[in-house]
Chains A and B, each alone.
Chain A
Amino acid sequence: MLQRSKTRPQQQLSLGQRLLRDKALLLFALPGTALIIAFHYVPLLGNVIAFKDYQPFLGISGSDWSGWANFAVIFNGDPAFLRALKNTLILTSLQSVFVFPAPILLALLLNSLFSERIKRIAQSILYLPHFMSWVIVVALFQQMLGGSGLLNNYLRSHDLATIDIIGNSELFHVLLTSQIIWKDTGWATILFLAALSQIDSQLYEASSVDGASRTRQLWHVTLPGLRGIIILLFILRLGDSLTVGFEQIILQQQAVGRDVSEVLDTYVYNNGVIGGAWGVAAAVGLVKGLVGVALVLAANKVAHIFGEQGVYQR
């Protein structure tokens, strides 16, 4: 990915001369690079407030250092923090078990269709929800499954018992998981379908000559062809495992209460931006970010040990 074209002879200019020659390109790159640095790297420095008793009117440099005091909620196991951690872990497990495999299954289904036309129509429909905002998705779910939604109105008009789904704290984790499946399963098939189309069709022909059934082909040709992309996406998912969907949850938090809906990201938002406990919130956010990076690096290492390519090369 970083290779350079070999068409030009190696130039014997010093770095300064080359930069001077490339001043137009430097100017081109300036606005974009400056924005990335300002909003991705400078905030990293802002994490120092995790070690400070930050007071907005004093500013970052004016606030007193407080050492590891802000991290006490994590190390001493503050109940509100543990609650957020617990919900995050429950949701991330549900997502790994139900959300992650869903597009693989759907892609296999789409790939096995013989009619190109049906496949195209299905794809057009299934990709659509991905482009809807979480606000719209949550509103649509309310209209379908809420107390006066389509489902319950139907049940009521046929004198059947209504089902309390939206605003029911017991079903909240299931609801969140099914919303993600509804929104993103279709779109996520796109990468698996691309990988499936890369599989050499001679493998299928050769195996069918040898008398392989569909199940055998699935097991010995199709799934091995998907292995690389599945491992890659699983590593990336691991890195995000403490991120379980901020917008989706904050939109529905009011209806079910924090006991089931507080996750690490909403904890940071509710305590920091809303509650004013900036230092504590930043500390929790910082630890969460570091754990995420560590998980990606560790998962990538494991992938290398098993001889897979992973996200980046050694």
Chain B
Amino acid sequence: MTRKIVNGVPMPSWPMRMFKGLVLLVFCVAVIIPFVGVISTSVAPNKQINEAGGLVLFPESISLAAYESLFAGGVVTQALFVSVFVTVVGTALSLTASCLLAYALSRPSFAAGRPILLVLLFSMLFSPGIIPTYLVVKGVGLLDSIWALIVPTMVSAFNVIVLRAFFMNLPNELTESARIDGAGELKIFGYVVLPLSKAVLSVIGLFYAVAYWNAFFSALLYLNDSKLWPLQLVLRTYVINDTQLGSAELGTELLPPQSSIQMAILVVSIVPILIIYPFLQRHFAKGVLTGAVKG
């Protein structure tokens, strides 16, 4: 039997192609269905949710009552502010500290470069353990402070190494000519290196942002005061543990069914990631891999 050969690979037989398509389809549907269900239920009318007994895949009409009650100023609104603050401020600080460190490490002549790089690499080999880290965070007075969600995880050694690899690949002539023109390190960094690194900066920035937005463990560990809770902790309390959200928590008398409120909280925490996902995706195949492989 002769088969068509494309780029040296024989075309698979029809049953095989059907089988592979089916496997892929099942996997993709299994990923998509939960998202569709949650988003649909959050906007579905009460009657339909009650008839279905829970999740709805195709809403008959759109009702935003659940979102109105979430944004009325209760716990969820507050948690949203905390999460946005942590994500925005945290990402800005993380990027600044990581880029400065990575730039210093990327300079071939930097006298302290090698020891600092070793400090970074070794920190990736072990994790210091939950209890000792907790004691350090407590020791520096970050317990029950919103900064506990930012400071301990501000610099990721892996991200610094990816950034460093990228900076090292920039043409040396550019930085050298700036230096000859009398630019100091800060000028070279700000006017030459950073503008050339937009792609890798956006990927690393988005990685940091996603990590801050999703942070659950540090909030669980370090925050007792429920006023400081980020969205992820609210999600756990009111969706996973099924604690009732009453008008006292929501700050409004308007009370849609619990399941649509729950789904709306889920949507609020999913949507920001769905929004930045296409930007992330455009870069990560290129930016992250070249960095990681060479790192």
Contact = CB atoms under 8 A, between A and B. Distances in A.
A39 B136 contact: yes
A160 interface: no
A182 B28 contact: no
A15 B111 contact: yes
A41 B130 contact: no
B131 A282 contact: yes
Contacts of A288: 129
A163 interface: no
A213 B185 contact: no
B227 interface: no
Interface in B103-126: 103-105, 107-112, 114, 116-117, 119-120, 123, 125-126
18 contacts: A1-B295, A22-B109, A29-B101, A31-B97, A31-B101, A43-B133, A46-B135, A134-B216, A139-B266, A153-B53, A208-B8, A250-B220, A268-B130, A272-B130, A273-B130, A278-B131, A288-B129, A293-B126
Interface in B157-190: 157, 160, 172, 184-186, 189
B12 A46 contact: no
Contact of B110 (A25, A40, A110, A282): A25
A261 B280 CA distance: 34
Contacts, number: 286
Interface in A229-250: 239, 243, 246-247, 250
A127 interface: yes
Contact of B155 (A36, A113, A124, A191): A36
Contacts of B132: 43-47, 49, 282, 285
B7 A182 contact: no
A112 B20 CA distance: 9
A35 B277 CA distance: 29
Interface stretch (A3-11, A79-87, A169-177): A3-11
Contacts of A25: 103-104, 107, 110, 112, 185
Contacts of B157: 36, 40
Q: Describe A's contact surface by its main secondary structure.
A: helix
A58 interface: no
Interface residues of B, number: 100
Interface residues of A, number: 108
Interface string A156-171: 1100000000000000
A208 B10 contact: yes
Interface stretch (B30-38, B63-71, B84-92): B30-38
Given A2-B117, A133-B232, A128 B31 contact: yes
A286 interface: yes
B61 interface: no
